[in-house]
Structure 1
Amino acid sequence: MLNFDHAASTPVHPDVIRTISEVTEAHSGNPSSIHRGGQAASRLLERSREVCAAALGVQSAEIVFTSGATESNNLAVKGMLLGRVDGRRHIVTTQIEHASVYESCRQLESFGFEVTYVAPEADGTVRPERILGAVRKDTALVSVIHVNNETGAVQPVEEIGRQLKRRDARVRFHVDGVQGFGRLALGLNAAGIDLYSLSAHKIGGPRGVGLLVVRSGVRLFPLISGGTQESGLRAGTENVPSIVGAAKAFRLAAEGQPERAERMNLLREYAVREVRKHKALTLTEPAHPAPHIVHFTFPGLKSQVILHTLEELGVLVSAQSACSAKTEKPSRVLEAMGRDRAHATSGIRFSLGDGHTQEEIRLLSEALEQAVSRLAPFEGRKR
């Protein structure tokens, strides 16, 4: 079975598996305990924080470990608004954010906060001037995803961040970096990013571990109370073995980013050429695509039908994002881009990983050709 759904989750790197196993076996102490076992675990935890900070170019005290990017995004968005003491109650975000940001904003609206959802262009990219034009005197936070998890459209977060800080440095800037880290270069300092979310399992790390960069001076309201862990922002005993493994994965992803991007771009170009061969398919073509994501629609058919047909042919892909793949509702992202229902219900995403080869792209192409041939007679029928 060929796995082309690496944007949903990646295989854990062998070195990461060994590291987690070794730490699990050797260290059972609670890092909050003051005895030797606890202090040994605490040193591992802080060393992991230093490794992550070095990979991101920030201070180790600015790293907060979480259970993943969903929690990080919730903490960034809700924690920022609930923690503001200056009366700012407005958020600017986009219509194409990951559900963990989008639904956090919707929840805050139910609490009386105000949110402006900026629409993207037809290619799935937001214009910086539209983001900045939505900022008001009472805006507390701007949140923009770096790489859209569905279409692979790269958002101009560097330009947005620089202009935002020149306009009003009191507005905090959050970026969901999950699909960008390890594939695209991004300087958090130069881009004026105050809050940055990552998840380990997207880059060869374990599931259930992520981080939120919280820049010095940024105040958040903790969403999980009951202890002083993670500078008081995230109560609960830290999962030390998985955090150590995640730190290694983040380091490897940062070190290999330029070569990875170059290799994936070549494979993506190959896959894009194969999709273009089929008139029944409509390729989604962002102005600036991420190197690891190819997205297309097969209007007239449901995403799940295409997905399961490819699965029968030995290829795993995704319909929408992993968090939304089980629903048959039209894609919120594609609708925001102006796609009609036929397109918005038929999206398919290929996503590449470190181990993919040109031969596997060739096999993917063969499976796609068979799937299109098999499904074309049913195009436009109700299913």
Structure 2
Amino acid sequence: MSDIIYFDNSATTSVYPEVLSAMNEVYLNCYGNPSSLHKLGNEADKLLQKSRETVAKTLNVDEGCIYFTSGGTESNNWAIKGVARANRKKGNRIITTRIEHPSVLECFKYLENEGFSPVYLNVDSNGLVNMDEVRNKVDDKTILFSFILVNNETGVIQNAEEIIREVRLKNPKTIIHIDAVQAYGKIPINLSRLDADLMSVSSHKIHGPKGCGALYIKKNTHIIPILHGGGQENKYRSGTENLPAIYGFAKAAEIIHEKMTDNRNRIREIRNAILHGLREKFGKNFYVNSPENGYEGILNIAFPRVKAQVLMHHLETKNIIVSVGSACSSRKNIQSHVLTAMNLPKERVEGAIRLSFSGMNTVDEALCFVHAVKEIIPVIRY
């Protein structure tokens, strides 16, 4: 697979070799159940707590606030359903935006069947939340406000501090959840400064294993479990912890945070090389759906009279992997709800492909992509 140019790192990432080695060590030598009282269990529990401390350190929070899950989707489900159900006596209004990940939007739809009243905030043409709507929609019955920090399709970065400040001004008791799955390890996050109550993160977006993530829960946040059983994770999340994956997640978190500055510089060079090459060939005859000041690792583009899936499959024949929309919904063949919410023209929505980069990509790969697109576009235009 070494000849593959992989520009779909927002869907998932390859595992760091160091992470794989660390996980193998746990599988072979630390296979006890962390809940067991014998010495193998104690050894496993020590490794579990060490992993918790590592993840907590990357967010600058106390390790007692980190709860391991099976990934971003579970973390989002737990945050949203757990808070809503725990606080239903205080109100039934729950607020999010129209550009959230499906694991958030589907939770809001589901909770409507339980009697909650979901509100979906509009965004502008760059995908930024309308702050007037934040001020107008939050009321004394609002129990939850959830928003995505870095959007998985366009890379737009929300002004989290401003959003949180406005929510707190309208209702200090509203619990605030941030979906940081696409932000964690990519941009700096300091939860000791950011006044959020919950934050979801995931392992496989940062070169860690799939099937592992975490939910940060601020102390004294009123939330109930959605999984019941043996009472693991301080009685909040039952089920034997997946220690090899958790340790691998912690290792990946440690590595990617050490490399963050270098990764961002390299990714910025890759993005700039692609945009420069496309402008050189097509001038203004292509669209950039991602905002200029968003996260540089996600680039959403479209070409006039070109269908996204057709372009994606032609690139695939040249061993260049890109995506159309979110990996969690692209197989449903549904138009991007994110780009639609941004009120972009139909042509830009239907033609949109997403390139997402990691620190393991190169400028040479970017130039190969540009060369391939120059060859393909004249052939597939309708």
TM-score (norm 2): 0.95
Could you tell me which amino acid in structure 2 is paired with residue 325 of structure 1?
Answer: S
1:265-304 equivalence runs, <5 A: 265-276=268-279, 277-278=281-282, 280-304=285-309
2:76 aligned partner: 73
Report the count of equivalent residues.
377
Partner of residue 26 from structure 2, selected from 7, 23, 31: 23
Output aligned runs, 1:205-284, within 5 Å: 205-276=208-279, 277-278=281-282, 280-284=285-289
Match of residue 317 from structure 1 = 322
* One-letter identity of the residue aligned with 1:132: R
Query: In structure 2, which of residues 354, 359, 365 is the aligned counterpart of residue 360 of structure 1?
Result: 365
Query: Counterpart in 1 of 2:185?
Result: 182
Please list every run of 5 or more consecutive structure 2 residues that lacks an aligned counterpart in the other structure: none
Q: Aligned partners of 2:308 and 2:179: how far apart in 1?
A: 25
**Structure 1 Cα separation of the partners of residues 331 and 277 of structure 2:** 27
- Measured after TM superposition, the shift of residue 191 of structure 1 is 2.1
- Offset from partner CA, 1:240-282 (integer Å, 9 cap, x none): 0110110111122222222222221222122222333435531
> Does 1:49 find its partner at 2:52?
yes
In the alignment, the residues of structure 2 paired with residue 299 and residue 221 of structure 1 have an alpha-carbon distance, to the nearest angstrom, of 49
How far 1:178 sits from its partner (Å)?
1.2
Matched, 1:173 2:179: no
Whether 2:104 is the aligned partner of 1:96: answer no
* Residue aligned with 1:143, SS: strand
Q: Which amino acid aligns with 2:178?
A: V
Alignment partner of 1:14 out of 13, 17, 34: 17
- Give the match for residue 381 of structure 1: none
Partner of 1:193: 196
Which segment is superposed worse, 131-140 or 203-212? 131-140
Are 1:40 and 2:51 counterparts?
Answer: no
CA distance in 1, matches of 2:332, 2:285: 23
How many Å separate the matches in 2 of 1:217 and 1:336?
35
Matched residue type, 1:50: E
CA distance in 2, matches of 1:303, 1:78: 35
Return closer, same or farther for 1:189/1:45 CA change in 2, 3 Å cut-off: same
Contact 2:7-2:322 at 8 Å conserved across structures: yes
Contact 2:52 2:63 in 1 (8 A): yes
d(CA) in 2 for partners of 1:87 and 1:207?
36
Equivalent residues of 1:181, 1:253 under 8 A apart: no
Deviation at 1:321, TM superposition (A): 0.9
- Distance of 2:144 and 2:276 partners within structure 1: 40
Query: What residue is the counterpart of 1:305 in the other structure?
Result: 310
Given that 2:71 and 2:201 are in contact with CA atoms closer than 8 Å, whether structure 1 keeps it comes out as: yes
**Mapped contact 2:139–2:171 kept (Cα < 8 A):** no
Contact 2:285 2:303 in 1 (8 A): yes
Cα deviation, residue 156, structure 1: 1.0
Contact residue 290 and residue 298 of structure 2 kept, 8 A = no
Partner residue of 1:373?
Answer: 378
The 3-state SS of whatever aligns with 1:326 is: helix
Q: CA shift at 1:115, angstroms? A: 1.0
CA contact (8 A) 1:280 1:372 kept: no
- Contact 1:328–1:345 (CA under 8 A) maintained in structure 2: no
Which residue of 1 is the match for residue 67 of structure 2?
Answer: 64
Q: Aligned partners of 1:38 and 1:254: how far apart in 2?
A: 30
Structure 1 residue ranges, 4+ long, deviating more than 6 angstroms after superposition: none
Output the amino acid matched with 2:332: T
The 1-side partners of 2:16 and 2:196 are apart by 29
CA shift digits 1:190-231 (9 cap, x unpaired): 221111111101011000000000010112121111121112
Counterpart code for 1:262: N
1: distance between equivalents of 2:252 and 2:126?
32
Aligned-partner Cα distance in 2 for 1:127–1:249: 35
Alpha-carbon deviation of 1:40?
Answer: 1.0
The percent of aligned pairs where both chains have the same amino acid is 36
Are residues 85 and 337 of structure 1, via their aligned partners in 2, closer, same or farther at CA, if it must alter by over 3 Å?
A: closer
Distance 1:283 1:275 in 2: 11
Rounded Cα–Cα distance in structure 2 between residues aligned with 1:297 and 1:103: 27
TM norm structure 1:
0.95
What is the CA–CA distance in structure 2 between the aligned matches of 1:147 and 1:140, rounded to whole Å? 23
Is residue 162–residue 190 contact of structure 1 (8 Å, CA) maintained in 2? no
Q: CA deviation at 1:287?
A: 4.9
Which consecutive residues of structure 1, in runs of 5 or more, have no partner in the other structure? 379-383
| Cα 1:257/1:198, change in 2 over 3 Å | same
Query: Is the CA contact 1:13–1:205 (under 8 Å) kept in the aligned structure 2?
Result: yes
Displacement after TM superposition at 1:158 (Å): 2.0
SS of residue paired to 1:366: helix
Residue 82 of structure 1: how far off its partner (Å): 0.7
Question: Secondary structure of 1:198's partner?
Answer: strand
Q: Alpha-carbon deviations, 1:313-358, whole Å to 9, x = none?
A: 2200010011012122211111111124333222100111111111
Q: Amino acid of the residue matched to residue 372 of structure 2? A: A
The one-letter code of the counterpart of 1:118 is: L
